[in-house]
Chains A and B, each alone.
Chain A
Amino acid sequence: MDKIINIKNLNKIYGTTIKTQVLFDINLSFDSGSFNSIIGASGSGKSSLLNILGTLDKPTSGELYINGKLTTNMNKNELAELRNETIGFIFQFHHLIPEFTALENVLIPHMIKNKGRIPKDIKEKAEDLMNLVGLSKVKNNLATNMSGGQQQRAAIARSLINNPSIVLADEPTGNLDSESTETVYKMLRDINEKFKTTFIIVTHDKKIAEMTDRIIEIKDGKINLDILR
């Protein structure tokens, strides 16, 4: 299988005067279309790794290849385009842009790609995604008028609008009850099977991790376990 993401000898050190190394010499690759989870204790470096995988942060040393292309020497515009077209994000803390409605938020990645235009089929696709995450009733609410769980589900819909080949999710179900958590995972799984989208999901929930094909455990900035099932 193709390696859609490949990292080599990756290190991350925060700070310039007081240096804290949070990732140590990581070598890791992900198969295209795979469904992965990253687990680990709080502060172990899961978000740090995910942000680097998403090209939002730069590694202190090491190389990151996405679709076989080295990203570490791309400029800001090239990275922005790469993110927009190939990566869908579900963030740990921030979800939606509060000035826009849920549906508009879902459409924003497409508007970035398509100079603000929204063709009819994309609008329909956004509505379908809203149905999929169970938000058709509140799709025209401003983000501020939705619950934390609803915002998180809208963020999931948004991550999928541009048909990304990779979805990076940081605690995507952190605000959901166990029942909704399970439905959301089933949904992500469906998408993974239908569109062959690669998923990398950070979670601290062992039960959830066990539903994925591969579990990577990070401990103190190093890969402690890498279980393929």
Chain B
Amino acid sequence: MSLPFKIALRFLKSNIGQTILIIIGISIGVSVQVFIGSLIQGLQKSLLDTTIGSSPHITILSTNDNKLIGDWKEKVNIIEDFSDIKTISVSSDSPSFINFNNKTESVLIRGFLPDKANNIYKIENNIYEGKFPSEEYQVLVGKELSDSLGLFIGDKIEIITPQREMIDFTISGFYDLKIASINRSWIITNLETSQKVFDFGDFVTSIEIQVNEVFDADLIASNIISSLNSSEIDVQNWKDQNQQLLSGLNGQSVSSIMIQVFVMISVLLGIASVLAISVVQRSKQIGILKAMGIKDKSSSMIFIYQGLLLGLAGALVGVFLGLGLSFMFSKFAVNPDGTPVVPLYLDYSFIALSAIIATAASVIAALIPARKTSKLNPIEVIRNG
């Protein structure tokens, strides 16, 4: 242990009340950072998840009049070779009317490859009765539509295609994707049935993609456009369609950073002023040490070490306080069903960064008193009392 470190430790110990006060100050700052940061990140994650967690991030549609995409297997193969692609699903969709008990509703028939579509829409998990169509001409109906028509499994509903053909479908199950507009309008069947009913041959109407890095969706989309190089397709991504959400998220991030910056600044000013006072309090000791030959650099290090020790202790306590606060929040601020109001997201690298920033800031705050110390002339203190 070097002498400046020993002296720093002793100074902190001998004025334990002041030391604890500064540590509490820093730790409150750090805990607010950890808590607000986790809260905002959790909020953003859950917002993103509800918005695009179960929907395609990139959608490829046809620009042809008949809305059909040819050679889709080839296209899917090309896209699959991109990095960062999570899942690709194709569908054959067409608006139609359905008829049941003399009630008519306008719907969208969606024909999926079940495994692929499940990756995006989690249909399988959200079938609350029955099962996914396993045979041709079977369909899944959404909760809202089934409630309003009074449907049961095994019921036959009549589909009226845009070509005015009428075909009977059998209901194999009911789904609830938690979005009323989808539940009301989507009738889900398998790809072959849809292609057959609407005479699409081996064409599809959309290719839907999820990516891992959702914020890169626009870049990946433009890569897809250039590698498919076809004038017959239109590639859309979620960012274009959710500008408001994006600017909302941005605003949140900026205000969260602002809060954190200001919390840190106030903590810093606190440490700097307390340490500045402590230089005055300890000027006699510093004077004696200098008279006995301690060098300016070492006497400055006494205060740097104090800043470092206070910062480390404050950061450590603050991280635990912040985690505790977050834990309490997710435990006590809950919805009626017991799930947290905002699911917190504990990003450990963010937490570590907060702790490191607080420690570094404390050291920086200690630079001012350290400079003052090195300027202190021992004679000022030695002379008289």
Chain A interface (Cβ within 8 Å of chain B)? 47, 51, 54, 56-57, 76-77, 80-85, 89, 91, 93-94, 96-100, 108-109, 111-113, 115-116, 158
**CB < 8 Å: which of A93, A94, A115 contacts B2?**
A115
- B10, B294, B298, B382 — which one has the most chain A CB atoms within 10 A of its CB? B382
Instruction: Say whether B295 contacts A97, CB under 8 Å.
Output: no
**Which secondary structure dominates chain B's binding surface?**
helix
Q: Which chain B residues in 1-46 approach chain A with CB under 8 Å?
A: 1-7, 10-11, 13-14
By beta carbon, the residue of chain B nearest A144 is B14
Q: A56-B379, A57-B379, A116-B5 known; A99 and B295 CB under 8 Å? A: no
By beta carbon, the residue of chain B nearest A78 is B295
In which size bucket is the chain B interface?
A: 20 to 34
Whether a CB of chain A sits under 8 angstroms from the CB of B257 is: no
Chain B, residues 279-312, CB within 8 Å of chain A (1/0): the string is 0000011011111111110100000000000000
Distance from A12 Cβ to chain B, minimum over Cβ atoms (Å): 11
Q: A57-B379, A85-B293 known; A99 and B384 CB under 8 Å? A: no
Distance from B306 Cβ to chain A, minimum over Cβ atoms (Å): 12
Distance from B302 Cβ to chain A, minimum over Cβ atoms (Å): 11
Instruction: Say whether B293 contacts A83, CB under 8 Å.
Output: yes
By beta carbon, the residue of chain B nearest A86 is B293
Chain B interface (Cβ within 8 Å of chain A)? 1-7, 10-11, 13-14, 284-285, 287-296, 298, 378-379, 381-385
Distance from B197 Cβ to chain A, minimum over Cβ atoms (Å): 87
Instruction: Say whether A89 contacts B291, CB under 8 Å.
Output: yes
Please name 11 further chain A to chain B contacts, defined as beta carbons within 8 Å, in addition to the given A47-B383, A76-B296, A94-B287, sorted by A numbering. Answer: A51-B382, A51-B383, A56-B378, A77-B295, A91-B288, A91-B382, A94-B284, A94-B381, A96-B288, A108-B289, A112-B293
Q: In whole angstroms, how far apart are the Cα atoms of A82 and B292 in the complex? A: 9
Q: In whole angstroms, how far apart are the Cα atoms of A196 and B7 in the complex? A: 33
* Chain B residues in 8 Å Cβ range of A77: 295-296
Q: A89-B292, A112-B294, A116-B3 known; A99 and B14 CB under 8 Å? A: yes
Instruction: Say whether B379 contacts A97, CB under 8 Å.
Output: no
Q: In whole angstroms, how far apart are the Cα atoms of A61 and B373 in the complex? A: 27
* Chain B residues in 8 Å Cβ range of A111: 3, 6
Q: In whole angstroms, how far apart are the Cα atoms of A111 and B379 in the complex? A: 22
Q: A56-B291, A56-B379 known; A116 and B6 CB under 8 Å? A: yes
Instruction: Say whether A98 contacts B285, CB under 8 Å.
Output: yes
By beta carbon, the residue of chain A nearest B2 is A116
